[in-house]
């Protein structure tokens, strides 16, 4: 059974534009990351949007939710900016119960040397295959349920709300 990866953007997929001298989106790096990982799991990839999650609106989240509902796969990974990953997790967690959905991202762009992106993608792929139906965030090597996660902006990590 295939896994669907929905790409929505975030630091995970940012690149450096040397003419504009700023960070931009061009296209997702997920295919080359899966190739690097020699991933042999059946995976479909769909770029829904490529935005900074600070700019994500409820309309954007509705689009993500609709895509999750319409997907024939019941194992879904969503690459997402870390700034509002917990907001999208809660939005999805309230509405969708019959799939395993794992949100992940990166603190540093995959396109740069010292990124957590490849590690996080590996974690998310494994969690998506095993966790029971529900919505989760996978960051920092662990998973959180959608209703018990927040980003600690000061430390730059994810933690339980407790």
Q: Which of 21, 72, 98, 162 binds its own copies (CB under 8 A)?
A: 21
Interface positions, 34-93, toward its own copies (CB under 8 A): 34, 36-41, 43, 52, 83
How far apart, in whole angstroms, are the C-alpha atoms of residue 141 and residue 70?
A: 29
User: Using CB under 8 A, which of 60, 73, 86, 116 touches its own copies?
Assistant: 116
Nearest alpha carbon to residue 149 among 62, 71, 90, 65: 90
Q: Could you tell me if 45 and 71 are in contact, meaning their C-beta atoms sit under 8 angstroms apart?
A: no
Which range binds its own copies by CB under 8 A, 55-63, 64-72, 90-98, 149-157? Answer: 149-157
Q: How far is the CB of 62 from its own copies (least distance, A)?
A: 25
Please list, residue by residue across 60-85, b when 16 or more beta carbons sit within 10 angstroms of its beta carbon and e when fewer do. bbebbbebbeebebbbbbbbbbbbbb
Closest to its own copies by CB, 14 vs 65, is 14
Compute the distance between CA of residue 24 and CA of residue 36 in angstroms, rounded to an integer. Answer: 23
* Smallest distance from its own copies to CB 8, Å: 16
To its own copies, the closest distance from the beta carbon of 106 in angstroms equals: 9
Least distance in angstroms from the C-beta of 82 to its own copies: 9
d(CA 18, CA 14): 13
> Measured from the CB atom, is 22 or 95 closer to its own copies?
22
């Amino acid at each position: 059974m295939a896994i669907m990866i929905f790409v929505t953007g975030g630091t995970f997929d940012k690149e450096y534009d040397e003419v504009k001298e700023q960070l931009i989106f061009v296209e997702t790096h997920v295919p080359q990351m899966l190739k690097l990982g020699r991933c042999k799991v059946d995976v479909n990839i769909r770029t829904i949007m490529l935005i900074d999650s600070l700019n994500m609106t409820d309309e954007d989240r509705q689009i993500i939710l609709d895509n999750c509902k319409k997907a024939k796969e019941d194992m879904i990974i969503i690459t997402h900016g870390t700034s509002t990953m917990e907001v999208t997790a809660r939005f999805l967690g309230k509405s969708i119960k019959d799939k395993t959905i794992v949100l992940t991202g990166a603190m540093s762009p995959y396109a740069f040397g010292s990124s957590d992106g490849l590690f996080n993608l590996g974690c998310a792929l494994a969690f998506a295959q095993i966790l029971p139906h529900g919505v989760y965030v996978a960051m920092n090597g662990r998973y959180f349920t959608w209703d018990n996660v927040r980003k600690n902006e000061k430390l730059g990590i994810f933690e339980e709300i407790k």
